Structure 1
């Protein structure tokens, strides 16, 4: 990749990737997946520049023909990112003769007055600010709202998020396009040797239940821990939590410490991407019993690795996981979750069937298809300008 964009007559799209950090998860992985999909599909009428902080280029799997608009390293930190996006990015975009800007993570540079697209991954800062960091509530409440209202088109990962956005911000439904996220081709049942290496590296037991994601309120880990406490006496499994420490995680940490079986709850913190496939594959069940998800990539990745998924009915999870997962309504409480987990771990035939259906279901979600939909949105916005 280079910082020099060759002149031609294709639509020049700049994608804001500043959110991509050193330990990516969630939205960051979605942004990287979009870049991966666009690089693989190579829309013939479009070319791309990536806004990225210095030193973060290796986080994106982009082809050589994707140019860089490089921000200083300090723009990779939260406050620096906001400052650079809003005050400095517009001039760089204009100097680079960009035709369309895509704010791939909730926000646009508001001083940009050309064609634009913004992706909103979820609406929790609007609907559930109590689950969020105060500065995100203020920032997204102001800048995301203005970005959505100013953008020529809005992209969301699910029909659920589209409905929420239309209600919360009175957006015209025709401006909102659903582009489901993808599952990387690397997510497939791992070889026994790879599973054994990850198990040894993290000192994991032979049988475990797995939760992956940032440790934060909406992941509802306190309820998962309570459900595990209810059934731990009847099963040999441990509960493994893989995710970096998030905001307002004190109650979750205390729930782990107070558990009567705390020694069988393993918190691994953030796990590198290259270990995720083996971690998923080694788990007997993957649990994502969130209060709210704008999409729900974790259960799909687990399914792709052949691991049965148990999800809640929070947000978009039922829409995304479909009939391939075990869906336990949040209203069932920890007791209801415990009951389903106990049945699933005790029934190998049921797990095998869930595994088969999950692999088939996850195969429908690819980054190439995600990129195809997004690329078509770019095309439609551009054509409306000329």
Structure 2
């Protein structure tokens, strides 16, 4: 069977989560499938890692993005390469590909659905164009299978919002993570990161982003209570959080008196993120919703104790490897954080369970499920 993979921006210079996840899926599919061949359609020159080889062919489809690429150039290329099934890893794609197609629900819809059903009612983060929203919503209904990242996303978002979607159309395939190994980085590499960010021996960690669902406020207010009322002296490292944002939550005077407890980092590389996670004694992940939950997956695979959001995609991934709290309650957040810092038995239990849970989330497992799903269309094609 010839499987087409549509990923227009997979080799672009934009290092976005969607493109990174797309690369992981392609790596795992090629490594784990010896029966089928793959044709990867994109708009950019492939990196050396994804150059043509046995069972993988790159087809660079030219033309501008948008309607021309999705509805004209890509369908012609799919037909020319005689693909049997299309795996769409992009935001948009052909509405009439001519073959069975699988579509992964984009980040945007998970964020919008959570906000519409449970949230603030004014979600505007990374809003796509009118064309992108129209085509993406059309693909949700027209695709043969809609792939979702967690059961939380399926049961609490998609089924409640798209009430007319057939249940048998929805499939959950979770992401994977490469398990942290103690010797992944040299001592010199770790020391370089510690020196660059002036890291103390012990620190608490949160990795944020501009998405309002990241819930930075609860982490900062919870940490403030840990310092003010629970006498915690361990500093917190906040990635992707500005000084002005911290001050807006804790107040200028309190921040000035406790500024040495905040280590603010604007951007980090993938390797720096892993080193930061491995060195943390506590990881806060209090998002209301996350698509692939990649950071918390990496944290549990490193055996780092976690405090995360109850009744969410994050708690589904953690399953016993984290302390669950109400993300809107700074008191719960602070008490859970302090428990991790003072209870060694709790830490050992969370670490052990985390490493066990991480074995479930391997990209090879994700690929096996995806291959089995695509092969169900073999007879029909």
**Does the pair score TM above 0.5?**
yes
Q: CA RMSD in A?
A: 3.1
Partners of 1:267 and 1:347 in 2: how far apart? 27
- Which residue pairs with 1:179 in the alignment? 173
Correspondences of 1:302-321 after superposition (within 5 Å): 302-313=299-310, 315-321=312-318
Which of 248, 267, 270 is the equivalent residue of 2:267? 270
Change (3 A) 1:378 1:229: same
| Matched-pair contact (CA < 8 Å) for 2:204–2:283 | yes
Q: TM-score, normalised by structure 2?
A: 0.84
- Which residue pairs with 1:297 in the alignment? 294
CA shift, 1:243, in A, is 4.1
Partners of 2:249 and 2:316 in 1: how far apart? 30
Structure 1: 4+ residue segments shifted above 6 A: none
- Which residue pairs with 2:56 in the alignment? 66
Which of 11, 21, 36 is the equivalent residue of 1:30? 21
Partners of 1:139 and 1:314 in 2: how far apart? 33
1:67-117 deviation line (CA, Å, top 9, x unaligned): 212256x97xxxx46763345323332333322221124433224232210
**After alignment, is 97-106 or 147-156 more displaced?**
97-106
Correspondences of 1:1-386 after superposition (within 5 Å): 10-16=1-7, 18-19=9-10, 21-22=12-13, 24-44=15-35, 46-55=36-45, 57=47, 65-71=55-61, 80=65, 84-120=69-105, 123-128=110-115, 130-133=122-125, 135-136=127-128, 138=130, 141-163=133-155, 164-169=157-162, 170-185=164-179, 187-189=180-182, 193=187, 194-233=189-228, 234-243=231-240, 254-255=248-249, 258=252, 260=255, 261-313=258-310, 315-331=312-328, 333-383=329-379, 385-386=380-381
| Matched-pair contact (CA < 8 Å) for 2:2–2:82 | no
1:319-366 deviation line (CA, Å, top 9, x unaligned): 1110111111225x1121011101211223322221121111111110
Partners of 1:70 and 1:219 in 2: how far apart? 35
Number of residue-to-residue matches in the alignment: 365
Partners of 1:281 and 1:63 in 2: how far apart? 35
| Matched-pair contact (CA < 8 Å) for 1:119–1:154 | yes
Q: Which structure 1 segments of 5+ residues have no match?
A: 1-9
Partners of 1:155 and 1:126 in 2: how far apart? 16
1:30-79 deviation line (CA, Å, top 9, x unaligned): 222211211220241x211223342562586996642212256x97xxxx
Partners of 2:131 and 2:344 in 1: how far apart? 47
Partners of 2:49 and 2:324 in 1: how far apart? 33
Change (3 A) 1:125 1:362: same
Change (3 A) 1:61 1:184: farther
Q: TM-score, normalised by structure 1?
A: 0.83
Partners of 2:137 and 2:221 in 1: how far apart? 37
Partners of 2:73 and 2:240 in 1: how far apart? 33
Q: Give the match's secondary structure for 2:376.
A: helix
Q: Which structure 2 segments of 5+ residues have no match?
A: 117-121
Partners of 1:119 and 1:51 in 2: how far apart? 16
Partners of 1:11 and 1:324 in 2: how far apart? 40
1:93-144 deviation line (CA, Å, top 9, x unaligned): 2333322221124433224232210011552223426333363284554222
| Matched-pair contact (CA < 8 Å) for 2:6–2:41 | yes
Partners of 1:28 and 1:244 in 2: how far apart? 23
Partners of 1:82 and 1:250 in 2: how far apart? 40
Change (3 A) 1:89 1:107: same
CA shift, 1:304, in A, is 0.8
